[in-house]
Chains A and B, each alone.
Chain A
């Protein structure tokens, strides 16, 4: 019983695009235990959402896992046939998407959508699953749950819809919840309510949470661990506090510096030059090298692996020394993009 709840080993995903084969995920590994909270952050196109979808087997038709293994509760998903795999995934993992209105069935009452899972999968009676749905609606803080059982998604506000989506994710008693930017479309006040709910659930139900977002402040508030993703790989991995105080990868450092903080006003925000690499082309050397302020010869020729270099794990050749190159950079950091 010492195996982690979810273990991903060297996962690779490729996507067929009109521009050619895109290597969306280029070898990621992670381990998660019950009750963990992991934030995965990165910019658009870094592969955060694809990671979740690849684990859940929800990849779009033009994408596929090319290598790597996923163990869920110690069982290799590769060893199971498709229905068995889907059943195991559904039992262990719930998912909340960004756009709740797209995730919910528009012609089914929200109560029935929540009750459907215990009824179909656990074979509960209609009354029992109805009761369970109302319990869940109360748990996620939907007021007047009894009455709201019979409404349709379009009759609810964005915040309530997201709560319904969370209730559905919880309805199968999963041990893990995957959240794919669940609060990005919400107002900051409603976001705070939903984040608080997720934190409470983690404490009360001991549910593990994987939280994919581009918002570093959100990760800081609700996660204990963080993986920073860039060009289909994790470039920094560690405890949130540690990574925020002492980032060990120049990309993580730049990202932290460029995020505005509402508690401090700075003279200028740090900005990262250039754009993320095109993953349809082969990556030579460190993918962040063209945008990095501490780049040297070795960065252009060999791609560093994520490894323990003291402090948070980092995929950088200069993880302990890159900050020394900063003095010269601070002056030119804001320039325009080419």
Chain B
């Protein structure tokens, strides 16, 4: 269980803008946006890690960098004891798969589900030609869709069913790690619940490892074993889900959790962080959360806090005031 399947060391992804001609003449450096800026994380085989944070904090960029959709600009990424380069082999690409937020935009509208699955199964030489049909049926069963769905086009399905197709497509490649980027955010509450249950089943039955990226903190709590909180390109707190929810350490985590509306009758909405996510373009010497932090002190300006162990085992937070 405790084998590390995917780990990163100081991983970063900076988006570099184009510099104008005038800028080039003046020797001005092009705009650089550090969407992911030094993330170190380890994902255990068979576990689900939830990644939460506000929009623009870099959680989707981190997910896409792990899949290989974006080349990393710094740090290292290790998958199954192999360091991933900029270019991944076919085999390496197969191992990490992604489920996207919008199941309609991510499915080819002019391809039947069967063709979609057949294409990837044959391209990756996962099954013999004669066994393709068998495998397609297997996949439909796995995600709870009827077999006749194979002969339909994406538009013939409801949102929840399309998301199931997206999951089937990702699973067709027999990945080791599944990255779900806001996979249930576009769905209605009742449908959302059935997709979350499906993911929980798949995790149990197939031993899938998953990174579940979402801004919906209540959903993340249901599905994750561990949770990582991201702020401006960095992970500020990481630990076992129950520990983080019951005993948040970083001031940002505390405010983030208290700002979530609760279902308990008579609950009163807690404090939220003041202001908004500051610009990613700014350079930070010290703590990035300082501008919104209620307990900031002068030292926060100069010291860049590192993730250190707090309270219980495996619970990390990056704040110098702990």
A192 contacts partner chain B, Cβ-Cβ < 8 Å: yes
Are A196 and B269 CB-contacts (below 8 A) given A188-B259, A261-B264? yes
Are A220 and B267 CB-contacts (below 8 A) given A195-B261, A265-B222, A275-B158? yes
Interface residue stretch chosen among A10-18, A21-29, A240-248, A292-300: A240-248
A192 contacts B259, C-beta separation under 8 Å? yes
B194 contacts A262, C-beta separation under 8 Å? no
The digit string for B249-284, where 1 denotes a CB below 8 A from any CB of A, is 000000111111111111111111110110000000
B269 contacts A195, C-beta separation under 8 Å? yes
B5 contacts partner chain A, Cβ-Cβ < 8 Å: no
A244 contacts B265, C-beta separation under 8 Å? yes
A251's nearest neighbour on chain B, judged by CB, is B190
- Cα distance, A199 to B191, chains bound together (Å): 30
A259 contacts B189, C-beta separation under 8 Å? yes
The digit string for B220-259, where 1 denotes a CB below 8 A from any CB of A, is 0110000000000000000001100100000000011111
B190 is contacted by which of A157, A160, A245, A258 (Cβ under 8 Å)? A258
Q: Which chain B positions have C-beta within 8 A of A261?
A: 218, 262-264
- Cα distance, A220 to B161, chains bound together (Å): 30
Name B142-179 residues within 8 Å CB distance of A: 143-146, 158, 160-161, 164
From residue B258, how far is it (CB to closest CB) to chain A in Å? Answer: 8
Q: Which chain B positions have C-beta within 8 A of A215?
A: 261
B256 contacts A262, C-beta separation under 8 Å? no
B188 contacts partner chain A, Cβ-Cβ < 8 Å: yes
- Cα distance, A254 to B191, chains bound together (Å): 11
Name A268-298 residues within 8 Å CB distance of B: 268-272, 275
Q: How many residues of B contact A (CB 8 A)?
A: 53
B272 contacts A196, C-beta separation under 8 Å? yes
- Cα distance, A139 to B280, chains bound together (Å): 29
Are A220 and B218 CB-contacts (below 8 A) given A159-B276, A260-B193? no
Q: How large is the interface on A (under 10, 10 to 19, 20 to 34, 35 or more residues)?
A: 35 or more
Name B31-80 residues within 8 Å CB distance of A: 54-55
- Cα distance, A258 to B145, chains bound together (Å): 21
The digit string for A216-257, where 1 denotes a CB below 8 A from any CB of B, is 111011100000000000000000110011000000001110
Q: Which chain B positions have C-beta within 8 A of A320?
A: none
Are A189 and B54 CB-contacts (below 8 A) given A265-B241, A271-B197? yes
Q: Which chain A positions have C-beta within 8 A of B143?
A: 336
B94 contacts partner chain A, Cβ-Cβ < 8 Å: no
B200 contacts partner chain A, Cβ-Cβ < 8 Å: yes
From residue B196, how far is it (CB to closest CB) to chain A in Å? Answer: 6
A337 contacts partner chain B, Cβ-Cβ < 8 Å: yes
Are A260 and B218 CB-contacts (below 8 A) given A43-B190, A192-B272? yes
- Cα distance, A133 to B262, chains bound together (Å): 34
Q: Which chain A positions have C-beta within 8 A of B267?
A: 220-221
A221 is contacted by which of B164, B190, B269 (Cβ under 8 Å)? B269
B54 contacts A187, C-beta separation under 8 Å? yes
B222 contacts A269, C-beta separation under 8 Å? yes
B197 contacts A189, C-beta separation under 8 Å? no
Most chain-B CB neighbours within 10 Å: which of A44, A214, A222, A337?
A337
Name A308-338 residues within 8 Å CB distance of B: 334-338
B160 contacts A220, C-beta separation under 8 Å? no
Q: Which chain B positions have C-beta within 8 A of A157?
A: 276
B194 contacts A336, C-beta separation under 8 Å? yes
Q: Which chain B positions have C-beta within 8 A of A188?
A: 54, 215, 217, 256, 259-260
Q: Which chain A positions have C-beta within 8 A of B219?
A: 260
From residue B294, how far is it (CB to closest CB) to chain A in Å? Answer: 13
9 pairs of A and B residues whose beta carbons are closest in the complex? A336-B144, A192-B272, A192-B259, A217-B261, A269-B193, A271-B194, A272-B190, A271-B193, A262-B218
6 contacts between A and B (CB under 8 A): A191-B259, A192-B260, A195-B261, A217-B263, A218-B261, A260-B216
A44-B188, A187-B54, A191-B259 given. 16 additional CB < 8 A pairs?
Answer: A160-B276, A189-B272, A193-B272, A220-B267, A221-B269, A240-B265, A256-B263, A258-B189, A258-B193, A262-B218, A262-B260, A268-B197, A270-B193, A271-B190, A337-B191, A337-B194
